[in-house]
């Protein structure tokens, strides 16, 4: 039996929305009127997380009584852990700060030997996630490696960010659980820099790239068939990628022990585009922001905006994400230790 699918899918099906203290519309209007909310993005400008956060920022205020100003600020570093530390230690705990986090920063402290204790994802308060996505491994058109099976047999150079970033962790995960021969070149800031390196011929490609980001960042590459889509990585198959003939990672992971490890790591994609507020934020403000988030991701204007940018919106509520993070952090210690090893060189 699959380790992740039954318990985590059960969490997602059954988790209720948050029950918080009631606040009257008049009080909410008074609280946020004339205020500014900072939206801290744990990624570079122009990257996938930045694109999502700015789309959310254009619409969120309309669903908050008082119509506050929302200002987006980029704070890249360590797979968005830098932004997480800011949210935990510096950001005001008054409902005036929201953090846009990469899933690697949420699951990272669980899988790292010496996690940075300034940011504890299990203590953060989750507002919601805009997407529960799928990731891919891909190479540029000039690469000799055009299939995942070829990557299992041949050296393939991949660009990657630092530890904790999906582009690094997933490349090593596939080496250890699916037998690929990826040689990982780390130190790139993010996918924007890695794709430039692909164009220059410095690297063959990358893994752990969000499918939604590819469509919004490099739609022209897809149109002109400049990418080889090697494999799709998600707990469940993505129909769009399946229709394109892209195999799932599970067809290449041959034993149950490796599959359990891979599933634990891949579970982070359920909260692909998560938003948090600092621990200690009053329940009244948490309720306001969660309600506003839930309304925004259903808003026809926001969905039209997202469609124009070709970004996927498959949201989960803040309480659903909160429950899933708690479930992950309660995983068996032996499995966590094995997963830690699998995402290292």
- For residues 245 and 312, membership in a common domain is answered with no
The beta-carbon contacts of 245-248 under 8 Å, at least 24 apart in sequence, are 246/136, 247/148
3 state DSSP class of 70: strand
Going 94 to 95 to 99 to 103, the CA torsion angle's sign is positive
Closest CA to 207 of 197, 225, 194, 220: 194
Q: Is the pTM of this model over 0.85?
A: no
Distance CA 41, CA 50 (A): 6
Tokens standing for residue 201: 């011929």
Q: Which of 252, 267, 282 is the last residue of a domain?
A: 267
162 and 53 both lie in a single domain: no
Maximum Cα–Cα distance across the chain? 64
Look up the CATH number of the domain holding residue 239: 3.40.190.10
Q: Which of 267, 287, 311 is the last residue of a domain?
A: 267
Residue 143: enclosing H or E segment and its boundaries?
A: none
The verdict on 316 and 200 lying in the same domain is: no
Predicted pLDDT of residue 29: 63
**pLDDT the model gives residue 55:** 97
Domain count, the chain: 2
Instruction: Judge if 303 and 331 occupy the same domain.
Output: yes
| Order of strands across the sheet that contains 182-185 | 182-185, 156-159, 205-210, 135-140, 227-233
Q: Say what the pLDDT of residue 112 is.
A: 81
Q: Are residues 259 and 326 in the same domain?
A: no
My answer on whether 39 and 141 are in the same domain is no
Give the domain range for residue 35. 5-132+271-342
- C-beta of residue 246 within 8 angstroms of C-beta of residue 213: no
Contact 320, 130 (CB under 8 A): no
Indicate if 276 and 331 belong to the same structural domain. Answer: yes
Q: Per-residue pLDDT tens for 197-225?
A: 999 999 999 999 999 889 989 999 999 99
One domain for residues 97 and 212:
no
Is 80 exceeded by the pLDDT of residue 311? yes
Q: In the prediction, which pLDDT does 5 show?
A: 41
pLDDT of 268 > 70? The answer is yes
Residue 262 shares a structural domain with residue 275: no
pLDDT of 28 reads: 57
pLDDT tens string 110-156: 988 776 678 999 999 999 999 988 999 999 999 999 999 999 999 99
pLDDT tens sequence across 249-266: 999 999 999 999 999 999
pLDDT tens digits, residue range 18-67?
Answer: 333 344 455 556 899 999 999 999 999 988 899 999 999 999 999 999 99
CATH number of the domain encompassing residue 104:
3.40.190.150
**For residue 156, which of 170, 167, 171 has the smallest C-alpha distance?**
171
177, 201: one domain: yes
Do 68 and 151 share a domain, yes or no? no
Supply the pLDDT for residue 51.
Answer: 93
* Cβ neighbours of 108 (radius 10 Å): 25
Average pLDDT score over the chain:
90
Q: Which residue has the higher pLDDT, 226 or 29?
A: 226
E-state strands within 192-331: 205-210, 227-233, 274-277, 316-317
Q: Among 248, 267, 286, where does a domain finish?
A: 267
On whether both 221 and 122 belong to a single domain, the answer is no
Residue 296 has pLDDT above 90, yes or no: yes
């Amino acid at each position: 039996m699959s380790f992740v699918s039954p318990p985590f899918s059960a969490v997602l099906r059954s988790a209720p929305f948050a029950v918080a203290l009631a606040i009257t519309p008049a009080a909410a209007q008074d609280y946020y009127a004339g205020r500014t909310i900072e939206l801290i993005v744990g990624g570079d400008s122009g990257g996938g997380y930045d694109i999502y956060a700015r789309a959310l920022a254009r619409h969120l205020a309309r669903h908050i009584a008082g119509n506050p100003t929302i200002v987006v600020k980029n704070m890249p570093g360590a797979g968005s852990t830098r932004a997480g530390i800011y949210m935990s230690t510096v950001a005001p705990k008054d409902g005036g700060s929201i953090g846009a986090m990469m899933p690697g920063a949420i699951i990272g402290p669980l899988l790292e030997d010496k996690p940075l204790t300034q940011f504890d994802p299990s203590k953060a308060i989750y507002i919601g996630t805009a997407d529960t996505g799928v990731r891919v491994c891909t190479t540029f058109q000039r690469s000799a490696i055009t299939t995942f099976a070829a990557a299992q047999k041949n050296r393939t150079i991949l660009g990657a960010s630092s530890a904790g970033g999906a582009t690094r962790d997933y490349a090593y995960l596939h080496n250890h659980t699916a037998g690929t021969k990826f040689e990982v070149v780390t130190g790139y800031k993010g996918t924007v820099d890695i794709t430039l390196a692909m164009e220059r011929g410095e690297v063959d490609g990358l893994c752990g790239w969000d499918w939604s980001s590819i469509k919004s960042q490099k739609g022209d590459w897809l149109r002109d068939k400049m990418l080889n889509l090697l494999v799709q990585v998600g707990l469940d198959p993505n129909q769009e990628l399946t229709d394109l003939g892209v195999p799932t990672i599970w067809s290449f992971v041959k034993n149950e022990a490796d599959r359990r490890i891979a599933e634990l790591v891949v579970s982070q994609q359920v909260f692909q585009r998560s938003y948090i507020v600092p621990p200690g934020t009053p329940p009244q403000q948490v309720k306001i922001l969660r309600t506003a988030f839930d309304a925004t991701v259903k808003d026809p204007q926001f969905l039209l905006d997202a469609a124009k940018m070709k970004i996927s919106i498959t949201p989960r509520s803040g309480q659903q994400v909160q429950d899933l993070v708690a479930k992950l952090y309660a995983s068996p210690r032996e499995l966590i230790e094995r997963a830690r090893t699998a995402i290292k060189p």
